[in-house]
Amino acid sequence: MSAITGPGLILTLLLLTAAAPDCFSQVQWTQNKTIYGPDGRLDFYQVSDPVEKAALGSAVSMFRLNAGLLPDGGYYRLTGRTLGDTYSGLCPGEPFYDQPVGAVCSGTLIAPDLVLTAGHCMAENPGLPDKCAATRFAFGFSLAAPGAPLRLIPAEEVYSCKEKVLYSYSGGRDYAVIRLDRPVSGHEPAALQFSLPAPGAPIFSIGGPYGLPLKVLEGATVRRTYDDGQFILTDIDSSGGNSGGGIFSAESGRLMAVHVHSNDPDLIRIPLPAGHGLPPEDHRVRDGHCLTAARYGTAQGNGKRAVLLKAVPGLAALLSGEKTVELDPELSDFDPIPQAEQVFNAQRLFH
């Protein structure tokens, strides 16, 4: 069966909504992101798979200092609002509606003082010319139990950026290896896989959709590799904020790639579902619509792009201690505002 895309997809969803409005009550709202098949996003306390559990400690959330995190004694305090407050156009009943947001990207610990993330998460722009100085890497921004309060992160779990060791955000290459201000304590680096995964290989990712507390995105697969084995296409249920999150083998638990981009722009405006429970003065009631994303079948859509570890020049040498790898002076940024930060301004469009 071929995928339904573009106007045909929107028309199909609108017709389905009219026929069965309750079917969209649990659909995730996204910008240029997609859910493929069953929703595979889990809070950490929901994770039962031992391979996934073993990888949790290597995942890190990235914040901008004084924008998402503020020092507060022996803690850092989250300054963001809840998902529902931040994105006022969401359809009612969205997952994680009452959870706090604030992170801008995700990453993975790959050595005691090195984090791998997406290059666009660390790209300079006129509004924030020194991303390294402005970025904090926080471990433990996750839910250990349902409804657990999560507004303070212990200062010992928060690290600063010392330098970009490897970096590219040009010509489709999108990765960054960041050296932290000190070795990480209490968290083990991920085991790594530099070999090429096979099409259909089961995978999972760890990251923070919309800047939420970290989630495991399970039940995904490698659709195919391309560009001489530099990239993979996946069907991971990622969203803005997942950029930079690690992609792991679901069999070995080894980190194989970093998530960087979605190829499925599918933000749609649908009629407000019946039984929404919103007050009459709510702008969604006045408008009669809310925002949600399409659910593709597992094999449908165009998929998500990830950069394989084997495609990061100098990474294996850096980790083996063979040499110090300098930044390539020919590399340049090509987007003045990274996508991971654009998503947090998107709510302005939906009032």
Q: Do residues 214 and 202 lie in contact, with contact meaning Cβ atoms separated by under 8 Å?
A: no
* Token couple for 318: 């850096």
pTM of the entire predicted model:
0.80
Q: What is the CA radius of gyration of the chain?
A: 20
Q: In angstroms, rounded to a whole number, what is the distance separating the alpha carbons of residues 193 and 257?
A: 8
Q: Do residues 166 and 313 lie in contact, with contact meaning Cβ atoms separated by under 8 Å?
A: yes
Query: What is the third-level CATH fold of 6-346?
Result: Thrombin, subunit H (2.40.10)
* Token couple for 194: 């530099």
Q: In angstroms, rounded to a whole number, what is the distance separating the alpha carbons of residues 22 and 28?
A: 14
The single-letter DSSP state of residue 201 is -
Q: In angstroms, rounded to a whole number, what is the distance separating the alpha carbons of residues 312 and 248?
A: 16
Per residue of the chain (351 residues), what is the pLDDT tens digit? 344 444 343 333 333 333 322 222 333 333 345 677 777 889 999 999 999 999 999 999 999 988 888 899 899 999 878 888 887 888 888 788 889 999 999 999 999 999 999 999 999 887 777 899 999 999 999 998 988 778 899 999 999 999 999 999 987 789 999 999 999 999 999 999 999 999 999 999 999 988 999 999 999 999 999 888 899 989 887 777 889 999 999 999 999 999 998 777 555 778 999 888 999 999 999 999 987 766 777 777 777 889 999 999 999 999 988 544 444 443 433 232 233 333 322 222 222
**C-alpha 258: how far from its chain's center?**
10
